[in-house]
Structure 1
Amino acid sequence: MSCSKLFIKSIVLAIVLISVAHAGDSVYETGVEKLFPHNIVIEYNNEQLDLFMTGLTIRRKYFLKIYSMAHYIQQSPIATGSGISYDNIYKNILQNNGIKQISMVFMRKLSAEQIQNSLRSGMQLNSSEADYLKILPQVEEFMQAIHADVRKNDKFVIRWHPDGEVISFFQGTQISSIKSVKFAETLWAIWFGDFSVVDRKALIVELLTNS
């Protein structure tokens, strides 16, 4: 057997093994869903509001698990069902309509710089250079609040209010508050944009299931 055929067979085998590994490593099989309640209650304008999970997934880089995350909304951003495209759901989630929340649980130790670089690159990936420059002051303000290294199981929460304010919490303590609809949209695009850093379909699976 020629070296080229052996090489091709090795590549095919590697792809199969990778596929099997990931198939057995879905969010619902690894118990990650136990980290996130299906419904949460938050306080906004002195009111108690219910938020509902739209889905959850794991952020990976190469073969490393970086963080698990769940996404919550106050109400369904679009009526789901036959004839409704995934793109329309993503676009509606990215609009300034109702309260949304992203809850993360880190799955490994990371430096503050690693987190900052990851968030920056995700926003740049999902916006034009001109649009990114417009929100650069807000981006830098957001990054300055992320100054602590994280350990496995540390929690990070980002909440988007209807007035365009984005607040973030680390280990239950608020660390930032930034009011900018464009910044909020770009931040959320890290996970719901065309170049999402995660499996964005997994983040809307509950909307599809409940349609």
Structure 2
Amino acid sequence: VTFYWTELADQALITSAREHSVNTAHYLLKYAATLWTNQLELIACGIAQSEYFADDHTATVEFEMSGNVWRKELMEMANTTKEMNYMKRQMNHFEQAMTLNMERLGLVIGAEAVDEKAPQAIKDAQKDFMTIQARLRPFRERVDRLNGVANELANLHAGFKSIQDGEFGLRLSVFASIVFPATLASSLFSMGDSFLPGNDLFWVYWVVSVPLVFIFAGALLFGRKP
């Protein structure tokens, strides 16, 4: 602040500071506005990374993932959701702090306007913080949307994992249903000596079991679904 006043301040600003003591805080208020601007840049970077994460995981759903990979993906989404919720709470804090700053500068929330009768430092600060608030509001809306997207992504991946598990269970059921008729027919026809391999009626096993396999498989694959 001393450097700015001794090296950069023009004569008009120095004169205004002598006339109104509040103008001595001109560069201090500019410094505070700069800190808020840098904070907005960090927020924008964090939101952009979260949006890229959401887009990448929405576009790619790998059905061939193993159970460990699925769990890793879901844990990553859970951590990202936690960070988004943390960012949302921080945005609430920033918005409340910005509202308090604007009230301290004499601005009426909901009807913000620069007070032309105020000292120059106050007028400049009002302009700066009104601009910062205008940039902060869209960030808050983007964070709110991302929070819902993160929850939907986690539910989506969990749903796809359930579908994958269901398909695997269906394959096992179909396999068991195909094997069961052959096993049943084999147990039935193996009780008599005439149906043993090499005997006269051994062909009956194949005539009965093979059609049953196709009948059961067709009923499972093409039958009416519940």
> What interval of TM-score do these two structures reach, taking the shorter chain for normalisation?
under 0.3
TM-score normalised by the chain length of structure 2: 0.19
Q: Which has the higher helix share?
A: 2
TM-score normalised by the chain length of structure 1: 0.20
